[in-house]
A = this chain, B = another copy of it.
Amino acid sequence: MCVGLDPRAKNLPADLLRAGDQSFSAVAAAYARFCNGVSDVVAPLVPVVKVQAAFFEELGPPGMAAMAQVIEHAQALGLLVIVDAKRNDIGSTAEAYARGYLGREESAWHADALTVSPYLGDDSLTPFVEIARERGAGVFVLVKTSNPGGAMLQDLRCDGRTLYGRVAEHMEGLAAATAGTCGYGMVGAVVGATYPAQLVELRRAMPHTWFLVPGYGSQGGTAADVAAAFDDRGLGAIINNSRGIIFAHERPEFATRYGAAGWQSAVEAATREMIDALRRV
């Protein structure tokens, strides 16, 4: 299980952001406090958090500084950090993103893994894979995303096969080439919880590829939907939940029990609930 750190000003617990000050700096500071507070609670329970770059980037430079603090705090607690930034560019520019994000020691952002978009093709993916390999980091490439509109391109049949299937085949080749003793490589795929049939198909087609599975909870994916993302040993998948965990204080069942001031207790309860749900399937 992965907890997604996707802060949004309108959903923050009331005491974290003063109503009067909505400057980029004030919101960025509140995001750092909030995300660090989530990490404090979930660090003993889950192995990894996913930081959504968009919400920090929306605030400009102060937001980016807050994102760096959130990454550092989570890692100090022993968590792995995936930066969900869906970056890419051509060759030498892709290298700059890869060098900037990947690797705890060497890079400016210290990410353990980064999400990457595949539209620019194989030569745009190579720098991420090579630098991740050199630095013991990981890459998750978008294959089949959780949103309805993802079908527009991803589900097109290209010479008899789906576009997402072609991306999957390419990524599985890179994963197999870097597989460690656990059987998985350092290349992963993003496969949405909202398409359970494709999860089954892709798990079979990609035996060496980690799956990062968004779409659980608020987007409609259930524990039963994501069971197929795991292999026979119960390994190989990371199921992400963002809003359902970090804004658990807004869910009716937790709001009554904990109130806004008890938002961290709500985060803990929601995390334990999801772990149990995943264990059961």
* Residues of A near any B CB (own CB < 8 A): 6, 24, 52, 54-55, 57-61, 63-65, 68, 84, 86-91, 93-94, 96-97, 99-101, 108-109, 117-126, 142, 145-154, 156-159, 163, 166-167, 170
CB distance from A89 to the nearest CB of B (A): 6
- Chain B residues contacting A84 (CB-CB under 8 Å) are 89
Once the chains bind, are A65 and B61 in contact (CB under 8 Å)? yes
> Quick one: which of A64, A88, A154 has the most chain B CB within 10 A?
A64
Nearest chain-B residue to A192 (Cβ)?
A: B90
With contact pairs A147-B91, A158-B156 given, residues A61 and B58 touching in the complex (Cβ less than 8 Å): no
CB distance from A186 to the nearest CB of B (A): 20
The residue that A121 contacts in the complex, of B54, B153, B166, with Cβ under 8 A, is: B153
Once the chains bind, are A100 and B57 in contact (CB under 8 Å)? yes
Once the chains bind, are A100 and B68 in contact (CB under 8 Å)? no
Once the chains bind, are B152 and A122 in contact (CB under 8 Å)? yes
Copies of this chain per assembly:
2
- Report the Cα distance A60→B67, complex, angstroms: 10
- Chain B residues contacting A96 (CB-CB under 8 Å) are 54-55, 57-58
> Quick one: which of A6, A54, A94, A150 has the most chain B CB within 10 A?
A54
CB distance from A7 to the nearest CB of B (A): 10
Once the chains bind, are B122 and A149 in contact (CB under 8 Å)? yes
CB distance from A30 to the nearest CB of B (A): 15
Once the chains bind, are B58 and A108 in contact (CB under 8 Å)? yes
- Report the Cα distance A91→B151, complex, angstroms: 14
Once the chains bind, are B100 and A120 in contact (CB under 8 Å)? no
- Report the Cα distance A16→B117, complex, angstroms: 34
- Chain B residues contacting A87 (CB-CB under 8 Å) are 54, 86
CB distance from A195 to the nearest CB of B (A): 13
- Chain B residues contacting A117 (CB-CB under 8 Å) are 86, 88, 117, 119-120
With contact pairs A108-B24, A159-B157 given, residues A147 and B90 touching in the complex (Cβ less than 8 Å): yes
The 4 nearest A-B residue pairs measured at CB = A60-B108, A123-B149, A121-B149, A58-B100
- Report the Cα distance A88→B52, complex, angstroms: 12
Once the chains bind, are A156 and B147 in contact (CB under 8 Å)? no
- Chain B residues contacting A61 (CB-CB under 8 Å) are 61, 64-65, 68, 108
